[in-house]
């Protein structure tokens, strides 16, 4: 069994894709299911059966362990812990605690945490700070951080800053990060933040439509210069 988890869901999902592609190249049948849609009886039968022409199967189950505690969840865990000749991969779109991971003593566990550089980068987003913004950006690029992930985090940050500027009550964060957002928002006017949010919308449109004749990297660098 393999458990893939961590806050960097992009990297963990890329790892999942690499593993399943390799298995498929070896003629392994890959069965992917979301935990919320699994029927325990069917899963037990499938795990106990062979694939087409006796081939091995790989069962990929998404977001089982990070879901809310329930009897159904506990039963699924019991089924998955049974000895089987098939490969089982559990993929979670967030990090898991030690307590839940202890339930799988034989599993190979791979964790994908978000680089602390991304948080330093997001904190650097403020007017008249282009040098530090670009330095943090280059560091992210050197770590092979996906530009799409950085873009998504920027959108989230600008949205949070806009909320802090217009009405801090809208912010749904723990006290410490909420306080950091409020402090960072003091560097901006609300009009400036709304303008940046609109520019991000335009970048998103260009990325999705392939218009503008520019890469996401160049679009982001141009955006940094407008902050």
What was the pLDDT predicted at 199? Answer: 95
What was the pLDDT predicted at 55? Answer: 64
With a CB cutoff of 8 Å and minimum separation 6, the contacts of 85 are 56
Which pTM does this prediction carry? 0.68
How many whole angstroms separate alpha carbon 217 and alpha carbon 219?
A: 5
Residue 216: how many CA atoms within 13 Å on its side-chain side? Answer: 19
What was the pLDDT predicted at 54? Answer: 57
What was the pLDDT predicted at 145? Answer: 86
What was the pLDDT predicted at 92? Answer: 94
What was the pLDDT predicted at 83? Answer: 63
What was the pLDDT predicted at 25? Answer: 92
What was the pLDDT predicted at 135? Answer: 93
What was the pLDDT predicted at 52? Answer: 52
Contact 6, 14 (CB under 8 A): no
Residues of the chain below pLDDT 70: 48-55, 68-70, 83-84, 212
What was the pLDDT predicted at 7? Answer: 87
What was the pLDDT predicted at 82? Answer: 78
What was the pLDDT predicted at 49? Answer: 65
Q: Which domains does the chain have, with CATH numbers?
A: 2-111 (3.40.50.300), 116-224 (1.20.272.10)
**Angle in degrees, 0-180, between the axes of helices 190-209 and 147-166, rounded to the nearest 10:** 150
What was the pLDDT predicted at 186? Answer: 95
How far is residue 93 from each of residues 15, 47, 61, 113, measured CA to CA in Å? 12, 24, 11, 11
What was the pLDDT predicted at 183? Answer: 95
């Amino acid at each position: 069994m393999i458990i893939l988890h961590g806050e960097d869901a992009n990297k963990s999902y890329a790892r999942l894709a690499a593993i399943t592609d390799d298995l498929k190249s070896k003629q392994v049948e890959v069965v992917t299911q979301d935990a919320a849609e699994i029927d325990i009886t069917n899963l037990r039968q499938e795990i106990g059966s062979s694939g087409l022409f006796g081939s091995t199967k790989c069962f990929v189950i998404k977001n089982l362990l990070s879901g809310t505690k329930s009897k159904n969840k506990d039963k699924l865990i019991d089924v998955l812990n049974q000895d089987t000749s098939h490969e089982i991969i559990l993929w979670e779109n967030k990090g898991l605690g030690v307590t839940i991971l202890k339930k799988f003593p034989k599993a190979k566990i791979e964790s994908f945490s978000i680089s602390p550089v991304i948080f330093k980068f997001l904190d650097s987003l403020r007017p008249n700070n282009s040098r530090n913004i670009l330095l943090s950006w280059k560091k992210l690029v050197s770590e092979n951080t996906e530009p799409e992930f950085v873009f998504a985090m920027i959108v989230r940050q600008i949205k949070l800053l806009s909320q802090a500027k217009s009405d801090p009550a809208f912010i749904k964060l723990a006290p410490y990060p909420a306080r950091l957002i409020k402090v960072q928002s003091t560097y901006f006017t609300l009009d400036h933040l709304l303008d940046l949010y609109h520019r991000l919308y335009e970048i998103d449109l260009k990325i999705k439509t392939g218009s503008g004749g520019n890469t996401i990297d160049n679009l982001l660098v141009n955006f940094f210069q407008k902050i």
